[in-house]
Amino acid sequence: MEKRINKFLSEIGYCSRREADRLIAANRVTINDEIPELGTKVKDGDIVKVDSKEVTQKNKLVYLALNKPKGITSTTDPEDKTNIVDFIKYPIRIFHIGRLDKDSEGLILMTNDGDIVNKILRSGNEHDKEYIVKVDKRINPSFLRKMGNGVPVLNTITKKCKVEIIDDYSFKIILTEGLNRQIRRMCSYLGYQVTRLQRVRIMNIRLDTKIGKWRYLTNDEVNELKQMVKDSSKTEEASN
């Protein structure tokens, strides 16, 4: 049975398909000691190596919910001393699902299940992500209304979203898209600066650990998560 090299690395739990593409482009992957192209397929019996080390079938699948502190970067790049993998120090290789800004904190999911990573990233624009945001000046009704109706950022208009005031300087926002630094850009456009941004929910998973700590997802959480993305399209991954 043949499959594309990026899909192979994803399915055995080595990394996400997107990360596999980066490794291949950097000539860090070989098939039978030959450097492949991005579309090269792996056949039964082929020996696949990353950084000259053979990769084999995945370990038991794990799913973690981490409360990421500020200063930790959502990357697996070992050259970045603030990378999230070194921070969590899990005994087997895992990787993050999506991203959370270095200067933001809160919930981020970690796993070695490349298949679910791809499905969540592809279908990410259809699922809720909830944040608590603190800003530098008093919130007024006009700000809340404009945030909820859509703000021009990155050459587009953000989708309508749910925004609810918490107190004079804090609000809750639920997004169904994940543009780069979206909330900060939205606030900045309206003349506000974010002083604290915390993600408290991704789909059915809620933040319930202390900053810097993680927990395993329950079987019910994993099953519900998989059910929510089971109809994800087979197109290439969406940007998150």
pLDDT value at residue 238: 36
DSSP character for 211? Answer: T
Superfamily of the domain at 128-202? Alpha-L RNA-binding motif (3.30.70.1560)
Q: In this model, does residue 181 exceed pLDDT 80?
A: yes
* Strand segments (E) across 23-161: 29-31, 41-42, 48-50, 53-54, 63-68, 95-97, 105-111, 129-135, 152-153, 156-157
Which are the contacts of 178, defined by CB distance < 8 A and separation ≥ 6? 98, 99, 124, 125, 129, 239, 240
Percent residues over pLDDT 70 in the chain: 93
Q: Please work out, in degrees rounded to the nearest 5, the angle formed at the alpha carbon of residue 125 by the alpha carbons of 209 and 201.
A: 15
CA–CA separation, 80 and 221 (whole Å):
31
CATH 3.30.70.1560 domain span(s) along the chain: 128-202
CATH domain 63-123+209-229 topology? Alpha-Beta Plaits (3.30.70)
pLDDT value at residue 68: 98
pLDDT in tens, 121-135: 775 667 899 999 999
Burial class (CB in 10 A: 0-12, 13-18, 19+), 51: exposed
CATH 3.30.70.580 domain span(s) along the chain: 63-123+209-229
CA–CA separation, 160 and 220 (whole Å):
30
Helix boundaries (H) for 15-99: 17-25, 84-88
Flag whether the pTM goes above 0.85: no
pLDDT value at residue 7: 85
**Which of 113 and 64 is assigned the larger pLDDT?**
64
Residue with tokens 């592809």: 122
Residues belonging to the active site: 101
Instruction: Please state, as a whole number, how many other Cβ atoms lie within 10 Å of the Cβ of residue 144.
Output: 16
Three-state DSSP class for residue 82 = coil
CATH domain 3-54 topology? 3.10.290
**Mean pLDDT over residues 18-34, rounded?**
92
CATH 3.10.290.10 domain span(s) along the chain: 3-54
CA distance to 40, 83, 198, per residue, from 77 (Å)? 24, 6, 23
The sheet with strand 53-54 has its strands ordered as 29-31, 48-50, 53-54
Q: Using pLDDT thresholds of 50, 70 and 90, give the confidence band for residue 144.
A: very high
